Amino acid sequence: MTEPDTVDATLRALLADVLGLGEDRAAALTADSGLFGALPEFDSMAVATVLTEMEDRLGILIDDDEIDGEIFETYGNLLAFSLRKVGE
């Protein structure tokens, strides 16, 4: 897999673990799929858990001032943020 594919797969598996989506729902996420505010499971505790797991699984460090509401609006936004952080 190329790096973007790996990041994408890692992120889907992570959301499946935290939100209990199951493999099918996680695989069906598109760039436009809504997350925070759209999925009832995605509450503030889930946001926190996702951030910590992103750091662990993608080997990145996330500063709290980098985080705004938009990152969690859609799957596409979260993936773009992750790819940028992995590339830093």
Partner 1 sequence: MAEHCFRIHPTGTPRATILIVPPLFEEANRTRRTLVLAMRALTADGFAALLPDLPGQNESLVPLEKVELASWQNALAEAAATIDGPLIIASLRGGALIDHYPKAAARWRLAPIGGASLLRTLMRARIAADREAGRTSSLDSLQAEASTVPLLLAGNRLSPAMIAQLGSAEIQPVAPLRSVTLGSGADVIAGTPLWLRAEPGEDAAMAKAIAADIAAWSKTCGIS
Q: Please report, as ranges, the residues that interact with partner 1 according to CB under 8 A.
A: 17-20, 41-49, 51-53, 56, 64-65, 67, 69
CB-nearer residue toward partner 1: 3 or 43: 43
Given a contact cutoff of 8 angstroms between Cβ atoms, the answer to whether 25 and 42 are in contact is no
Reported as type and span, the H/E element at residue 7 is helix 3-19
Q: Provide, rounded to whole angstroms, the least separation between the CB of residue 30 and partner 1.
A: 21
CB-nearer residue toward partner 1: 51 or 86: 51
Separation CA 38–CA 15 (nearest Å):
14
Q: Provide, rounded to whole angstroms, the least separation between the CB of residue 34 and partner 1.
A: 15
CB-nearer residue toward partner 1: 32 or 68: 68
Q: Provide, rounded to whole angstroms, the least separation between the CB of residue 63 and partner 1.
A: 9
Separation CA 81–CA 88 (nearest Å):
11
Given a contact cutoff of 8 angstroms between Cβ atoms, the answer to whether 73 and 36 are in contact is yes
